[in-house]
Amino acid sequence: MSFTTPPRPFDVTALTPRLAPLARTATRLHPRPGSPTVHDSSVGGPLLWPADEPWPHCEGPHDASLAEDTPRSAEDIRALRRVRAASAERRLRDRRAPVRTPEEDEVWRRHGGGRPWFEGPVPMLPVAQLYARDVPLPARPAGSDLLQVLWCPCGHGVSEPRTALFWRSAATVTEVLDAPPEPPAIEKDGYLPRPCLLTPEQVTEYPSTMELDEELQDQLSDESRWEAAGAEWDDGEAEDPQDFYFRNLATAPGWKTGGWTFWSLTDPEPRDCPTCGTEEIPLLTIASSEWDDGSVSWRPAEDPADPAQHLPGDPSEPTLVDIRGGYTLQLHVCPASPDHPHLQIME
Ligand SMILES: [Zn+2]
Ligand SMILES: [Zn+2]
């Protein structure tokens, strides 16, 4: 199975050639539920982690009073997801089927009630593992061919889990840790990614509207330019030509590496490396959805338009990750050195 982003509605450089040098390649990961192994690129899958290397822990502080949701163990969350999937499948076959069977009620009683909050350092959770053979990794350090991303199971009161990045050479991992520790509780279900396999696809991106200079913004707003280029912007969704550009021609939604930073909540902020001042570049975007109503033109051709007919679950939310009710967490790295701290931007 491969996934194909439909061609963009038109070539945006026809509107203004000044955009041409700003084109960047992003690699959409197209995560879909599966059973990845340590040798696969994955979201939420097992990591190729050396048996003799300590598993990363987050030192906190972790304030129970700031928890967004009922804290549950990974086992609880997996059990409840199985029940929800079984229910969805049953009701897809027969709309009058019960939402829950007595057995499923029992699973809810056992796993739904929540777990005690944790004290002290807590094991981090695997978020993504990307092999360079599968996915281009910007600013990849020499000698490494594998990126592993983990995060704390707690949002630290800002609904934005603290992430940790590890670069390594897969060939140096001879003995793999087979049972990594799991946190006793996870702040909310959306912080446990459902295991997914990836089908990377490269697309071209341009900067978010707010990151363009004034002249380019004016050119994109100029309806006569669109007309002259034979480009239709009024698709019934876009408020104006700039909005059409932003939704359909600038940055791709969903999990991806590379490309341009996506700005929507805030004005663009400096992304200077705290150590050396170099501007950090987008490495990995962790997304709550692969597309939404505002970015539906990016829906892969292979995915059904009607998610209600799709199993397992909505194809626009394959990983079940939720960043503060639908946002993205964009990890940026310093191109000067992998030892410099990375930045995370939530939009
Ligand atoms: Zn933490
Ligand atoms: Zn730096």
Among the bound ligands, name the one nearest to the CA of residue 120: 1
pLDDT value at position 67? 83
Residues 241 and 321 in one domain: yes
Residue 90: domain span: 73-113
Residues 209 and 79 in one domain: no
Q: Is residue 3 part of a domain?
A: yes
Q: Which residues contact 53 (CB under 8 A, 6 or more apart)?
A: 177
Residues 80 and 158 in one domain: no
Last residue of a domain, one of 159, 189, 219: 189
| Arithmetic mean of pLDDT, 312-318 | 85
Is residue 310 over pLDDT 80? no
Question: Separation of 337 CA from ligand 2 center, angstroms?
Answer: 6
Is residue 197 over pLDDT 90? yes
pLDDT tens digits along 64-122: 888 888 999 999 999 999 999 999 999 988 989 999 999 999 999 999 999 999 889 99
Q: Is residue 246 part of a domain?
A: yes
Among the bound ligands, name the one nearest to the CA of residue 334: 2
Among the bound ligands, name the one nearest to the CA of residue 183: 1
Last residue of a domain, one of 113, 140, 173: 113
pLDDT confidence tier of residue 169, bands split at 50, 70 and 90: very high
Q: Is residue 324 part of a domain?
A: yes
Question: Separation of 162 CA from ligand 1 center, angstroms?
Answer: 6
Question: Separation of 26 CA from ligand 1 center, angstroms?
Answer: 29
Q: Is residue 237 part of a domain?
A: yes
Question: Separation of 72 CA from ligand 1 center, angstroms?
Answer: 15
User: In the chain, how many domains are there?
Assistant: 3
Among the bound ligands, name the one nearest to the CA of residue 151: 1
Residues 280 and 183 in one domain: no
pLDDT value at position 163? 97
pLDDT confidence tier of residue 294, bands split at 50, 70 and 90: confident
Among the bound ligands, name the one nearest to the CA of residue 123: 1
Mean pLDDT of the chain: 94
Among the bound ligands, name the one nearest to the CA of residue 62: 1
- 176 - beta bridge partners? 50
pLDDT tens digits along 33-50: 999 999 999 999 999 999
Question: Separation of 170 CA from ligand 1 center, angstroms?
Answer: 27
- CA dist 246 and 344 (Å) reads 22
Question: Separation of 233 CA from ligand 1 center, angstroms?
Answer: 44
Among the bound ligands, name the one nearest to the CA of residue 278: 2
Last residue of a domain, one of 189, 218, 241: 189
Residues 169 and 260 in one domain: no
Question: Separation of 178 CA from ligand 1 center, angstroms?
Answer: 23
Residues 175 and 51 in one domain: yes
Secondary structure class of 13 (helix, strand, coil): helix
Question: Separation of 120 CA from ligand 1 center, angstroms?
Answer: 9
- CA dist 166 and 130 (Å) reads 11
Is residue 159 over pLDDT 80? no
Residues 157 and 220 in one domain: no
pLDDT confidence tier of residue 307, bands split at 50, 70 and 90: low
Question: Separation of 245 CA from ligand 1 center, angstroms?
Answer: 37
Among the bound ligands, name the one nearest to the CA of residue 66: 1
Q: Is residue 216 part of a domain?
A: yes
Q: Is residue 68 part of a domain?
A: no
Question: Separation of 163 CA from ligand 1 center, angstroms?
Answer: 9
| DSSP strands (E only) in the chain | 24-28, 32-33, 42-43, 57-58, 122-123, 125-131, 146-151, 163-168, 196-197, 201-205, 256-258, 281-287, 328-333, 343-346
Residues 255 and 225 in one domain: yes
pLDDT value at position 275? 98
| 66/217: higher pLDDT | 217
Q: Is residue 194 part of a domain?
A: no
Residues 181 and 305 in one domain: no
Question: Separation of 347 CA from ligand 2 center, angstroms?
Answer: 22
Among the bound ligands, name the one nearest to the CA of residue 58: 1
Residues 217 and 275 in one domain: yes
| Arithmetic mean of pLDDT, 271-300 | 96
Q: Which residues contact 121 (CB under 8 A, 6 or more apart)?
A: 57, 58, 59, 60
3-state helix, strand, coil in the chain (%, to 5): 25, 20, 55
Q: Is residue 67 part of a domain?
A: no
Residues 174 and 275 in one domain: no
Is-contact 330 344, C-beta < 8 A?
Answer: yes
Is residue 184 over pLDDT 90? yes
pLDDT value at position 92? 87
Residues 53 and 181 in one domain: yes
